[in-house]
Amino acid sequence: MTAAGHESLSVYLRKKALAQPDDFIANPKELIAVLDRLGPEISRVGNNINQVARYVNYLKANNMINMQFLADFNRHMIEFSIIEKELVKALRSFLRIAAARFKKFK
């Protein structure tokens, strides 16, 4: 009951009893806590990407880079960008659904 974000046992039991099989009672606090832990990890990935990009730019500026390496690097960056956009889209979709279902039980 507490993990689901409810202070009253009667409210929690009523919502559980009336829930449809495909409904869930999301606890926004738990979801936010997970997203808070995910944020710093994503930030570290971004910092690493920036370091690699700076080094690649240095190598390119000094004619010290293999063009195949540069092409591979660019391809990986495009793939990363696509995956990041899909993650953001999925999280936003999940949050919209969770918020709508949570409001339904209030």
Kindly report, residue by residue over 30-78, the tens digit of the pLDDT. Answer: 777 777 888 888 888 888 988 988 998 899 899 998 888 888 888 988 9
- List, in order, residues 6 or more apart from 53 with CB less than 8 Å away: 77
| Domain locations in the chain as residue ranges | 27-104
- List, in order, residues 6 or more apart from 9 with CB less than 8 Å away: 1
Tens-place pLDDT, residues 72-96: 888 988 988 888 888 888 888 877 8
